[in-house]
Amino acid sequence: MIFITFLASVPALIVPSNRLWLKIHGWLLVVSAIFTLVLGLDIWFDTLKNRAHMSVLWAQQTPHVQSLLQQHFNCCGFQNSTTFQKDALCTGPLIAATLPNCQGKFSSFGASFLDLVFTADFGIVGEQIHAPLRGLPYHLTLLISFSSAGRDSSTLCSHGAQGPQGTRALQADRCKERFRHLIV
């Protein structure tokens, strides 16, 4: 979706006099931002249910895999130390009672990637909303300048022109042509 939005911006940059592509790009930015926001929220809500998902995942594993997970996370049992798999780390109930359960470490490990994904996703949404607004003060200044000049672009376009009189007039004409869509 973001790539399609980018592709719509290319004609808007190449043909600045045609505002249709700029409008299409603007609407695609809005749709893309909403899509990305919904995707990020979906992933975030999944992370809130992560412990329940991990409990099911732990129960589906063979005793050997559960033992390997206990050794990797240095814990015994999933929810409490009474449901541990006997291995080199959890040799008996007394040792298992001294070590924490695996639920927190296993869930944190599973959520770390999802947290990274939805955080990056929300950052993209922020950039999609912020990018079009960066140029807003400049465009508002132009609009205010046009309205205060009595909707005449000659005041706005003549102040930056320098050089011989013919060059100044040519630059003013180019400026008026460039901003003609702003003059109502």
pLDDT digits (tens, 9 = 90+) for 21-73: 888 888 888 888 888 888 888 888 888 887 778 888 888 989 899 889 888 88
Rounded to whole angstroms, how far apart are CA atoms 148 and 166? 27
CB-CB contact of 135 with 129 (8 Å):
no
Residue ranges of domains in the chain: 50-115, 138-184
Tokens 């460039």 belong to: 178
Structure-token match 């022109």, residue found: 161
At residue 143 the predicted structure's pLDDT band, cuts being 50, 70 and 90, is low
| Structure confidence by residue, pLDDT tens digits, 153-166 | 454 455 444 444 55
The helix (H) or strand (E) run that includes residue 107 is helix 103-134
CA 66 to chain CA mean position, Å: 36
Q: Tell me, what's the pLDDT at 147?
A: 53
CB-based contact 61:153 (threshold 8 Å): no
Q: pLDDT digits over 100-130, tens only?
A: 888 888 888 877 888 888 888 888 888 877 7
- Whole-number CA gyration radius for the chain: 30
Termini Cα distance of the chain: 34
More confident site: 139 or 118: 118
State yes or no: pLDDT of 171 exceeds 70: no
